[in-house]
Amino acid sequence: MKHAVVIGGTRGIGAGIAGELRRKGWRITATGVGAEEVSEYAAQYPDDVCAQLDVRDNQAVAAFFGGIEKLDGLVNCAGILARGAEYEIDVFETVIDINLTGTMRCCLAAQPLLAESGGAIVNTASMLSYFGGPLVPAYSASKGGVAQLTKALAGKWAEDGVRVNAVAPGWIETEMTEALRADPARNQPILGRTPLDRWGKPSEVGALAAWLLSDEAAFVTGAVYPVDGGYSAM
């Protein structure tokens, strides 16, 4: 049975990805930053391994991956946004540290295990990897960075047999977007620009991530795939 670690897998898009991998027969280790969300996930999915992990902590990340014997897939899905507060430099730095540098920390820690197994990485970029978000400068910058980091690591680690790709979600039904979906003044413009005229589901991002980790995508690396119902094409 193949083993995947889903960083940020206890909620939102990460949980959707973990669910699709589980459905396809993968063994799952999911991490979350909060003790409560980790406990709730563990109760709901007792067959998964669940751990609390702060991706800003170099030692904690190293210790976490040091305890894993075999790894076939890594999904980096830990992320935050702080909207207007991101114009404060300390908030900006925190968002970058979690979304971008945290992704790099986990990639570096997992790479030896993945090189041994011939495994793959899926990072989480965003539609904001392609255009700016005036209310979220740090989130936009971090997700643009994730897209370029994905391409850089793909080029570097191909010689080790490690593929690196990214998904770029658009407007997805998660806790993070609940307020937007509930506000007609915000919801309607989003749907109006989305050709498929609906919000995406975490499982739909998960289906693509699962394919990118699978042997069916053996000749795919360095790619960033939009999952946004056509939003970024408009």
The dihedral sign for the CA sequence 134, 176, 79, 197? negative
139 labelled catalytic: yes
Q: Which of 45, 139, 225, 231 is catalytic?
A: 139
Q: Is 6 exposed, middle or buried (0-12, 13-18, 19+ CB in 10 A)?
A: buried
Q: Please state at what angle helix 102-117 crosses helix 137-157, rounded to 10 degrees.
A: 20
H or E stretch including 225?
A: strand 224-227
Among candidate residues 148, 56, 54, 164, the one with its CA nearest the CA of residue 114: 164
> H/E element holding 184?
helix 184-193
Provide the CA 138 distance to its chain's centre, in angstroms.
16
Q: Are 56 and 98 in contact (CB under 8 A)?
A: yes
- What residues are annotated to the active site? 139
